[in-house]
Amino acid sequence: MDRNSEYRWPYRVAKHISDKVHGQVQQMLGESRLRRRFENDIRLIQPDDILTVDHILGSGAFSQVSAVTTRDGRRYACKHLQQKLMERPQDFQLAAAELALEAHILSSFDHPNILKIRGWTANGIASFESGKHNSFFLMLDLLDETLDERIRRWREEEIHVLKSDSNSTAMIPNLILDDNVTPDQSFYHHHLFNHSDYPRRSALQDSCDTRSQTLYAEKIRIMTEIAEALDYIHAQGVIFRDLKPQNIGFSAETNAVQIFDFGLSRELPSLDTSTPFSMSGKVGTLRYMAPEVAMNQPYNTSSDIYSWAIVSYELLTLEKPFDGWTRDLHEDLVCKRGVRPDTSKTLHPISDDMKLILEKAWSPFPSNRGTMSQIAVQLQCSLSRRMAYLAEQQQEQQQCRFFEQEEQQIPLSVETVAPMITPPSMTNGIYIDNMPLCILPNPSCGTRISRSMSFETIETINTSSLSVDSSYCY
């Protein structure tokens, strides 16, 4: 088959597959507890209503998403099946039913951190009778970027600045404070700087502290909104099963977290989400997959909590967990021996309160992970304390700048004012979303098990089918 040409099945074949898909969907909907929320304004869209296909946004194992513009000038993310599936009618039938189920799930949800569905094909599942792969489609909100793209951008900006000119102004190290630690008590200031030698802190140093703290608070804000969305999903008796940075986006209007791609999501047999159920194993992406799912054991919504913890670790540290590991190594160390990412030796430090939350959430025992509701409350409290701390710091900095300006206007006496002593050159400033940050110049990189154990198989390229980056879709 020439995949670049417009291909369609003969009518009888298309009608047969359409009827099969319709039967599967009807059975799933008949067993579903979810009901469409009629306040969700779902548009019925004809294929001719799409004026232009602007560009491809991404693709998965079964589907493709493109940015489109309709004749009324609105822009959407249009999701439909890939043409290559037409070579495998059984897979096409399965993927079509899952796409219809995703539409059903999204139309029943109403949460600020879950992507909104805005429309679907006017003829519904019957559209497959046309014989084209993209005859049935969903219209979704467009996103600004995914969490994966944002993390990658932050990493690239760090690397770029570290390689930039060495004459930029020195800054103090990245400072991630615990809630009960003041700047004067922090590890970096106590061990790297002697405050008796540097009696006054410059406005630049104070600004660096504040901006570093602001970024850390932003990361916790993202973690909190993901947790709140998962809590809502679980409350509806649904398990997500494929949480990863590529399935988490940000609203172009509000920057709010938006969880999307519910193609692998399933309704649980009971609203009692604490009970493990026998479901398809090896569903999702292995890097973020809970051990019980990877080992084909019964599981429940606690598997999403594990995935949330691994995603949050990557967000806080900007480091890929289990980087370069093969499937066999992951199974042996993570699933069987309970190895987890090291939270104590990272380039971007993790505060103690976040360490406790992560280490509980990725426990090898699903019943010990708690619930997303409990985690969300903990995160909200932590975020509130940090925002209050930031407000106090900003107020103090404003007062310091005011007094410095006042001092500059007072005539100096014969005594010489001691010059401001600049701390030893540490590193260049880095910019994240036009916000300068501070990082350690030569951090004591944590010994990650993926490097220290010297397994030859660890260096397997991540695009290999044996890599933890490869996805399972059954």
Q: How far apart are CA 248 and CA 415, in angstroms?
A: 60
Q: Is 79 annotated as a binding residue?
A: yes
Q: Are 203 and 402 in contact (CB under 8 A)?
A: no
Q: How far apart are CA 34 and CA 12, in angstroms?
A: 33
Token duo for residue 341: 């990412």
Q: Are 223 and 351 in contact (CB under 8 A)?
A: no
Q: How far apart are CA 468 and CA 432, in angstroms?
A: 29
> How far is Cα of residue 31 from the mean position of the Cα atoms in its chain?
31
Token duo for residue 36: 């469409």
Cβ neighbours, 10 Å, residue 70: 19
Token duo for residue 155: 């990493």
Containing 214, the helix (H) or strand (E) segment is: helix 203-235
Three-state DSSP class for residue 21: helix
List strand residue ranges (DSSP E) for 182-296, in order. Answer: 238-239, 248-251, 257-259, 266-267, 283-285
> How far is Cα of residue 326 from the mean position of the Cα atoms in its chain?
22
> How far is Cα of residue 315 from the mean position of the Cα atoms in its chain?
7
Contacts of 141 (CB under 8 A, 6+ apart): 76, 77, 115, 116, 118, 251, 258
Residue keyed to tokens 């970096």: 188
Three-state DSSP class for residue 268: coil
| Closest by Cα among 349, 365, 358, 353 to 300 | 365
Q: Are 375 and 312 in contact (CB under 8 A)?
A: no
Binding-site positions:
79
Binding-site positions for ATP:
79
